[in-house]
């Protein structure tokens, strides 16, 4: 099973009302299945600051997190998502990887 499917499965623990998981590895020089972006909208984020939300996400990922080089997290409550409705675009890779030629 592709890593992205494992990520999506793990995120269902958060009972998201909206979930987007994108493999953005093609935007980076590090290889396949290394860079991901997750947009997670869950009532479980109510009352939590950004650090606590990310800690909650890392907890559901467990050992899977060690298989991912980069994970851009965009975590919202349902109310925040209703007001915003879109996550920011990911920046273009600026290089600097030891894998760059």
Q: Please give the class, per CATH, of domain 3-83.
A: alpha beta
pLDDT in tens, 30-72: 567 778 899 999 999 999 999 999 999 999 999 998 888 888 9
How is the chain split into domains, by residue range?
A: 3-83
Between 52 and 95, the higher pLDDT residue: 52
Instruction: Return the bridge partners of 40, or none.
Output: 19, 75
Residue 29 pLDDT more than 80? no
Closest CA to 98 of 24, 30, 33, 26: 30
pTM, to two decimals: 0.84
Q: Which two tokens stand for residue 84?
A: 């915003």
């Amino acid at each position: 099973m592709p890593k992205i499917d494992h990520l999506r499965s793990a995120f269902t623990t958060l009972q998201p009302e909206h979930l987007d998981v994108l493999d953005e590895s093609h935007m980076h020089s590090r290889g396949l299945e290394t860079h991901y972006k997750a947009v997670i909208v869950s009532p479980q984020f109510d009352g939590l600051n950004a650090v606590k939300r990310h800690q909650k996400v890392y907890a559901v990922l467990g050992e899977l997190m060690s298989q991912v080089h980069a994970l851009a997290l965009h975590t919202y409550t349902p109310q925040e998502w209703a007001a915003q409705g879109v996550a920011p675009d990911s920046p273009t890779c600026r290089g600097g990887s030891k894998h760059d030629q």
